[in-house]
Structure 1
Amino acid sequence: MISIQFLVTAFVVVIAPGTGVLYTLAISLGQGRRAALWAALGCTFGIVPHLAAATLGLAAVLHTSAVLFTLVKWAGVAYLLWLAWQSLGAGGALSVSAEKRAEPGARIARRGALINILNPKLSVFFLALLPPFLSGNPATATLEMTFLGAIFMGLTFVVFVGYGLMAAAARDRLLGSAAVMRWLNRSFAALFAALAGRLALERAG
């Protein structure tokens, strides 16, 4: 069940830059190592509903229900645009500044979780990713899906922590210039807006 092929596939998927990685980098640059851990934890737990949906077969319902898919999708688009705005404002939650803020960890984790929860494509993605690596025994399929999902979550947390710690370590070097901070904030805002645009174009089918 756990094969080199699955581990390599999962690692390639996790390490590819996406919305969760972008959020973790922004938070880590703005708030440091502690925030990086909370961001990674939140993004990881945001995967749970999608893995549960794939395991229970609910992902197929989401995949075929245009109305449900569209509702979740537009909620995700609105949330990503809000994150883009939070990157631009001087007091925004994701703005990078020389002054190091210390937000409650639960708030950082909650934002990270919502990024994944409000992405309807993740359920369909796991429905496609996990079954090829199952043993083929229907009696153990649910247990195997859960186990593979837990491995995927573990990899997600480790990789995201790595991204976050690297960003936190680079913080002091990058934040010595007001011009660099403005560039970072605008870049994060543009990337979140671009990801919102990409999500808006997704279709249930």
Structure 2
Amino acid sequence: MSIDYLLTAFIVCVSPGIGVVYTLSSTLGGGLRAGLWAALGCTVATVFHMLVAMAGLAALLHASALVFQLVKFAGVAYLIWMAWGVLQGTGGMELRPGAPLPARRIVMRGIMLNLLNPKLPLFFVAFLPQFMPAGSAPALLVELGAGFTAMTFAVFALYAALAASGRDAVLASERAMTWLRRAFAASFAALGLKLAVSRA
């Protein structure tokens, strides 16, 4: 596994997206533990998408406009629901300390958020082959996938740690909480809009 591949994977993972927003909001709402569970959920979904890509099923999404649109708008609806939950402080998305959500629920939300993003398997189909020389053994694809998975969790865990370090100060300010709630809601809504206008 080359340094170029790891660096590229790091840049892809650190770029703000659905997983980053969810990990940050989970951390501010439930602390570092919740943020790490959120990171795990998003990583599990990434593994699934890589397996889909490796199995060639991403070609179906690319070839079938109907399948792509169905998955896409399911993802849009889920993101809008998440935005509403943050804004209203319902569904366990309140950015305040309180009764912690069960780990399973946090993980499942992370999985659902990334699972309903049809762009991910298409991304892996385009991304992974660039780092596979002609005649490479299938094991290299598995190695690249494992490297990307590890990078995903490490970066999201870092985001969670950074958010947790400033959590007390943020929670102490009602004004900061109000703006953060709006910012996270807007982020989920914007990601939903971006997904809605995307094309296969």
| TM-score w.r.t. length of structure 2 | 0.96
Q: How does 1:26-105 map to 2 (within 5 A)?
A: 26-97=25-96, 99-105=97-103
Output the CA distance in 1 between the equivalents of 2:94 and 2:84. 9
* In the alignment, structure 1 residue 115 sits paired with structure 2 residue 113: yes
Q: Deviations over 1:58-94 (max 9, x none)?
A: 1111111101000100000000001101101233422
- What letter corresponds to residue 149 of structure 2 in structure 1? M
Distance 1:177 1:8 in 2: 37
C-alpha distance in 1 between matches for 2:161 and 2:99 = 16
Q: Does 1:179 align with 2:175?
A: yes
Q: Which residue of 2 is the match for residue 15 of structure 1? A: 14
Cα distance, 1:13 vs structure 2: 0.3
C-alpha separation in 2, matches of 1:117 and 1:133: 24
Which of residues 157, 160, 163 in structure 1 aligns to 2:156? 160
SS in 1 for 2:162: helix
1:148 equivalent in structure 2: 144
Aligned-partner Cα distance in 2 for 1:123–1:56: 10
Distance 1:159 1:42 in 2: 13
TM-score normalized by the length of structure 1: 0.94
Unpaired segments ≥5 residues, structure 1? none
Q: Distance in 2 between matches of 1:177 and 1:79?
A: 29
Equivalences, count: 200
CA offset digits 1:170-200 (Å, max 9, x no partner):
1101111212111111110011001100000
Give secondary structure in 2 for the equivalent of 1:130. Answer: helix
Residue pair 1:32, 1:100 contacting (<8 A) in 2 also = no
Code of the aligned partner of 2:22: Y
C-alpha RMSD over aligned residues = 1.1
- In the aligned structure 2, how far is the partner of 1:27 from the partner of 1:15? 17
Matches of 2:16 and 2:109 in 1, distance apart? Answer: 18
Q: Distance in 1 between matches of 2:89 and 2:48?
A: 33
What whole-Å deviation, never above 9, does each CA across 1:104-134 have from its counterpart, x for those lacking one?
1111011011111100000000000001111
Q: CA deviation at 1:39?
A: 0.5
Whether the aligned pair in 2 keeps the contact of 1:78 and 1:196 (CA below 8 Å) is: yes
Encode CA deviations 1:141-171: one digit per residue, 9 max, x unaligned. Answer: 3x22222111101000011001011111111
Q: 1:90/1:54 Cα in 2 relative to 1: closer, same or farther (>3 Å)? A: closer
